[in-house]
Structure 1
Amino acid sequence: MAQWIILLMIISAVLCFVVIALAVDRGWMDPIDNAILDSMGETVMSDDPWGPPWFEETVVEISALGGYPVIVLATVFAAIVLWLASRRTGAVLLVAALSSGALASTVLKLAFDRSRPDFAEPMDRTFTASFPSGHAMISMVSWMTLAVVVSCYVPRRGLRVFILCAAFLLAITIGLSRVYLGVHWPSDVFAGWCIGLAWAGTAWLIAHNKIGVYHERVY
């Protein structure tokens, strides 16, 4: 039953991405994106976004958690630990999920080639197209896949749920930070979440079929 629920989540996430991608391609999302950003006022409409300087710096650092340097290092270190602990399926799954997700993100960006928001001075440098958000997608793929693999070796169900929820909330926070920094349209981030969740869900199915779940009772 759980696997059917995950499969349904994957299909729903893919369909949501397709709908958003179609709307972006036709220009239907432009009024919605602009309305959302306009409602945020100084957060993205000026060079002095809402909040004190320490908050701005905090958002920049949160955004960095979805960047390739942090994610690649975390994935490599986690994969090495799993490999040395003879959990090689988990190690391979982590590397495969990140590599394939990064490739998919690059291909999608090249295919849509959407321009970034240009009405505000962004607080972060960018080098690629806007749609979908690479930070939103890759953070959802990497952190959720890491959480899924780790949870396979955790005996307590409550702790497994906490790990998965924490990874999901981290990915959501990273995506929101990209909008605050003025480097992405809201639809970019939502689309990144959708396709990233579908990717992580696929990894979830593979992990539970190849690794299983640790059931040893802990007192």
Structure 2
Amino acid sequence: MGTILITGGSRGIGAAIVKRAVADGHSVLFTYHSDRAAADRLVAECDGRAQATRCDVADPAQIAAVFALADSLKARTGEPLTGLVNNAGITGGFARVADLPIDTLRGVLATNVEGCFVAAQLAVQRLSTARGGAGGSIVNLSSQAARLGGGGEWVHYAASKAAVDALTIGLAREVGREGIRVNAVSPGLIDTDIHATAGDPDRVHRLADGVPLGRPGAAVEVADAVAWLLSDRSSYVTGTIIPVSGGR
């Protein structure tokens, strides 16, 4: 079936996507930023169908090295790159716009926007039928924060995810006739450690009453949507942003 490259795959939503892709028969190359132990545990759970490599997606050179690794895997195993999941991202923590350090803003944009853009660019260079590729699927991880705005919490994060939405729609229109579908999944309130990392471990439960379905989502529910977009079952879907948000 080929190889799916998943950025930020060692925990949370990313780890759920890795597991689902392996269960669907793909080989997986996933990146992690710093938690080598979590990455190694996930590799062990995937019975030889996943490989981990360290990458800071805020550094274009490190992203290029990951794609070079994917190329070497293709040469060794014969399995080409068939998809990219741009999952790696950071929130930058909670801060009002007036108080946000500019270095925090730059870090969020470098990771969430530039990293996503560069990975998509390198994927297109390999997948495009106009460049000798066989086509494939790119799935970007957005956030309902892009629609809600993140006011009082993380406008900086919301703005970065709005840029991901724009990239998704624009790139889909650009490469649709080159055999590449580009979509995004937009999670809402999902029960992962992203909230604790941002500084509010109780956030997911405190806000759950505002979700029409009455509960936070699970990482596997996001992974299911990503898996569908990677598959041929979504063959006529591109330029689409799918909310997985319980109606919030």
TM over 0.5: no
Larger of the two Rg values belongs to structure: 1
TM-score by length of 2: 0.29
TM-score by length of 1: 0.31
Q: Write 1 or 2 for the structure with the bigger share of helix.
A: 1
